[in-house]
Amino acid sequence: MIELTSLKKRISAWIDERYEISNLISYMKKKSVPKFRATFWYYLGGITLLLFIVQVVSGILLLMYYKGTENLAFESVQFINTKVYFGWLIRSIHSWSANLMILGAFLHMFSVFFLRSYRKPRELTWYTGFILLLLGFGFGFSGYLLPWNELAYFATKVGTDIVKQVPFVGHYFMVLLRGGEEVTGATLSRFYGFHVAVLPAIFTVFLTAHLMFIQRQGIHEPEDWKNKSESERSYMPFFPNFLLRDLLLWLIVINILAILAVFFPWELGQKANAFAPAPKGIRPEWYFMFMFQTLKYIPGKVWFIDGELLGIGFFGIAGFLWFMLPFWDKRTKIGIRNKLLNYIGIIVIMFIIVLTILGYVLE
Amino acid sequence: MNSSNHIGSPESPKKGRREFINYLLGGSFAAWLISIVYPIYHFLEPPKVEEVKVSNLKVGKVGDMEKESGKIVKFGSKPVLVVRTAAGDYKAFSATCTHLDCIVQYRKDYGQIYCACHNGRYDLNGRNISGPPPAPLAKYNIAIKGDEVIVFKDES
């Protein structure tokens, strides 16, 4: 026993001599998390990160059997589902975890919004986080097509056709995405490439920045703590208190994921056919549903503007304003409460929820 | 101190030389960058593939399709919807919805052409009559030779 401790000491001394990790350890010991009624929301970023890790692992596993061509994609996913040991489980986990990850990111984003954690000096954390969400959408959109089934085929046709409506550059980008004028095997190849190479590479850069900003600046303290004395604030050490709670929550999330994946396995549907009418109930992933449903309500022409264009313009501008939040929220910047923002946030959430529900109910 | 003044002074011949070198290096770098970006830019542009040109297509005998029914046929690489009306006439339209590119179908219960993606509807002349479609469906012509139904496209 004594030998073991001395061995451990010798090893850490060896590493410390070369990499000076004692600084890092003392820094991490000081790390703390503010303890108040909304502390729970601080776990959501970590949960999203966990689900991303699940995505990477399950995605690499699926790569062992998936074949990204028009003639083999559907069949290879069928093979994974029916022949590969636990193939159905891995695929189901990949699909479920993808959806939970986006949900986690949404909740994380709105909690940051309402807690005003994006304000100075954390603007870049908000910007990188928003970009990560968009990249997550990209993962979802490109991954949706990969099984090459009917629903995904038409959802991709619609989704990429919307790109075409953007003035001037729209058609060019649609062709770039589709690998041609139509959604074909060329589109599948491209989406496969985006999904497993391009997006992961970009995502890694932004995720690293996002996490490093948080490490460097520490976790945001509630806004009203500025007027509180030292004794009125309470903290929880990150090691081990917060981390252990984090791990417990991760365990719970993994269990939920396993239950969903086992009892509600992801369906595969029919193989895509370019010469069959679109089936009823064509829909994108749920996180695009509110936009998809909004487009249904906009008529073909509003005055002289194309309805689609109006929809894209609306969501483009709204998304941009949302992205630029730390920039235009001047009031919170100087520490004044900004109630208007709470109303905006609630309206945005209500809009998303109502249109999503309408999208599913009015099928 | 002296020598650095000498280099920095505007009259110094060395400054002109330094600027020249800077432009040369900057220009070379830009050219080098273009030589990398240009091939990538064009690589991503899908090459034009020769399509088999189809000018007409036999879709079956007059009696093959029931009245008030529709089916989708491959006209080259394009899907075309052939409809037989209640009166027994044949009509053909592009099956690609003008809204967002989905494939339309004939709906007997509506007596109309319908797109399931966004509830777009067209009448049996291909006119967009409700929902989001911004334009009518492109028309194809029908010819009946003997009892053979043929779809063809005007090349004009």
User: By the 8 A CB rule, do A271 and A150 touch?
Assistant: yes
Count, residues in chain A: 363
**B16 domain residue, yes or no:** yes
Apex CA A91: angle with CA A90 and CA A97, to 5°? 85
Do B18 and B88 have their domain in common?
A: no
B34 and B111 co-located in one domain: no
Do A252 and A260 meet the contact criterion of CB atoms below 8 Å apart? no
pLDDT tens-digit profile of B29-64? 999 999 999 988 888 888 887 777 788 888 888 888
User: Over its length of 363 residues, how does chain A's per-residue pLDDT go in tens digits?
Assistant: 567 788 988 998 999 999 888 888 888 888 888 888 888 888 999 999 999 999 999 999 999 999 999 999 999 999 999 999 999 999 999 999 999 999 999 999 999 999 888 888 899 999 999 999 999 999 999 999 999 999 899 989 988 988 888 888 999 999 999 998 889 999 999 999 999 999 999 999 999 999 999 988 888 888 778 778 888 888 888 888 888 998 999 999 999 999 999 999 988 888 998 888 888 777 788 999 999 888 878 776 777 777 778 888 999 999 999 999 988 887 665 666 778 888 999 999 999 999 999 988 876
Query: Is the Cβ pair A154, B102 closer than 8 Å?
Result: yes
Are both B105 and B68 inside the same structural domain?
A: yes
CA distances from A336 to A224, A324, A329, B90, B103 (A): 10, 19, 10, 70, 54
Q: Supply the DSSP string of A35-73, one letter for each residue.
A: -STTGGGGGHHHHHHHHHHHHHHHHHHHHTT---STTTH
Q: Are residues B130 and B101 in the same domain?
A: yes
Interface test with B, best of A157, A198, A298, A302 (most B CBs within 10 A): A157
The total of structural domains in chain B comes to: 2
A38-222+235-275 belongs to CATH 1.20.810.10: yes
**Residue B134: inside a domain:** yes
Chain B CB within 8 Å of residue A308 CB? yes
- B88 and B109: one domain? yes
Is B38 in the same domain as B63?
Answer: no
- A106's tokens: 């949404």
* Same domain assignment for residues B16 and B72: no
Biggest alpha carbon distance in chain A?
84
CA distance A200 to chain B (A): 19
Specify the CATH number for the domain of residue B108: 2.102.10.10
Q: What's the CA gap between A20 and A12, in Å, rounded?
A: 10
- Within 10 Å of residue A44's Cβ, how many Cβ atoms? 20
CA A234 – CA A239 distance, rounded (Å): 15
Distance CA A27, CA A24 (A): 5
ipTM tops the 0.90 cut: no
Q: Which domain holds residue B30?
A: 2-43
The nearest CA of chain A is from the CA of B152 a distance in Å of 18
> Are residues B120 and B69 part of one domain?
yes
Q: Does A174 contact chain B (CB < 8 Å)? A: no
